[in-house]
Amino acid sequence: MANVAVIGAQWGDEGKGKVVDWLASRAEIVVRFQGGHNAGHTLVVGNQTYKLSLLPSGLVRGKLGIIGNGVVVDPEALLAEIARVEAQGLRVTPENLRIAENVTLILPLHGAIDRAREAARGARQIGTTGRGIGPAYEDKVARRAIRLADLAEPETVVAKLDELLLHHNTLLAGLGAPVFEKQALFDALMALAPKVLPFAEPVWERLDQARRDGTRILFEGAQAVMLDVDHGTYPFVTSSNTVAATAAAGSGLGPAAVGFVLGIAKAYSTRVGAGPFPTELTDATGQLLGDRGHEFGTVTGRRRRCGWFDAVLVRQAVKVGGIQGIALTKLDVLDGLPELRICTGYRIGGELFRRLPAAPGAQAAAVPEYEVMEGWSGSTQGARSWAELPAQAVKYVRRIEELTEAPVTLLSTSPERDDTILVRDPFEG
């Protein structure tokens, strides 16, 4: 049996939460390996809706959740999220949640610098969540980050705060924002230490043993390939690598343990915030997709921009993300549309491209070329077998497979966890 890594194949918000929740029923461990609490996974379980940002989705299934070293963790946000789900009846303790001891912490100053920079950009804003994820990753790379294990050593925290404040207070002052005081930060971290340190351990050891024992592991990605800091629509991206290869580095396991890579894609396209979006629809059809799909960001609450399915973009995500199969979600949102379009290329300055260029000017200038398909009149909502789908819906799915060069291995037809058509079990490899 293979392990499985789940990543987004578009710009995020593709429905990873439901798919991970569904797959977690057959896994024993679910691992978050990158991102921070800028990610948002919504899980609908009966009459309960769980909105998770840092907690691995498998906790809802009673599985062991692990937050790997590739994640950046805001301890206050983590504790608040734990309190929120516990109010819904879900217990989270060191028995079912473990956090890598070498995980980087997000401090209040990271959010402050994040928001101050974004405000200074004015009309050229990137569209960050303002939660400090990018600045925390910067400190990690600059080797001045405070990590979870450091909270057990007050003297280490004191020394690191000196370097952090020298850097960040200078920037904050230059941006006209309030600066931070060392003692207040230190006291806050020491108050948090006894609450979060019980979750800490060298998770790589646990995961290595699980691999040796043949325990099924599900790696849960955040954001998506087109928000990858290297492969996405830079600079309108997140601050971590979102491709499946990061599951190895971000958890402490070797690359051979990652297993089958499942890419999540909507049957249309959405994007939150700024950045290029070649197939965006600003007309009544775009409004209809947003209304039917309830397209609001789990974390930001902002309405998502909507557009036609972009096969060029998803094919690129398949290649660089290592995707072996696609989980196609929200097919039911397209029910009843008389005509559907799939982007098969971009015109940029008269030249036809079958990929998304790296230069931001070229990305912004990309004009999509479409293949037009007939829609279907029947309903796909709640379908649990191919036989329940209208013939034209099946043709649409098959065309997506051809254009993206990846098989649809799983089809989601509603937010309910059991409204799923399984073509190939990812855990079978």
**SS3 for 288?**
helix
Q: Could you tell me which residues come within 8 angstroms of residue 119 by beta carbon, excluding any fewer than 6 positions away?
A: 175
Identify the architecture of domain 104-196 in CATH. Orthogonal Bundle (1.10)
Mean pLDDT of 120-125: 83
Domain(s) of CATH 3.40.440.10: residues in the chain: 4-100+199-260
Average confidence (pLDDT) over 137-157: 97
Catalytic residue among 21, 37, 41, 74: 41
Instruction: Grade residue 127 by pLDDT with cuts at 50, 70 and 90.
Output: confident
E strand map for 139-281? 200-201, 217-220, 260-266, 269-271
Q: Does residue 389 carry a pLDDT above 70?
A: yes
Q: Examine the pLDDT at 417 and tell me if it is beyond 80.
A: no
Does residue 110 have an active-site annotation?
no
Dist. CA 352–CA 372, nearest whole Å: 18
Inform me whether the pLDDT recorded for 292 exceeds 80.
yes
- The verdict on domain 266-428 having CATH code 3.30.460.80 is no
Task: Tell me which CATH code domain 4-100+199-260 carries.
Answer: 3.40.440.10
41 is catalytic: yes
CA dihedral sign, ordered 276, 278, 280, 283: positive
pLDDT band at 298 (very low <50, low <70, confident <90, very high): low
Catalytic residue, chosen from 13, 21, 114, 228, is: 13
Location of each CATH 1.10.300.10 domain in the chain? 104-196
User: 153 pLDDT exceeds 60?
Assistant: yes
What pTM was estimated for this model as a whole? Answer: 0.93
What stretch(es) of the chain map to CATH 3.90.170.10?
Answer: 266-428
Q: Count CB neighbours of 200 within 10 A.
A: 21
Per-residue pLDDT band at 216 (split at 50, 70, 90):
very high
Of all residues in the chain, what percent carry a pLDDT higher than 90? 77
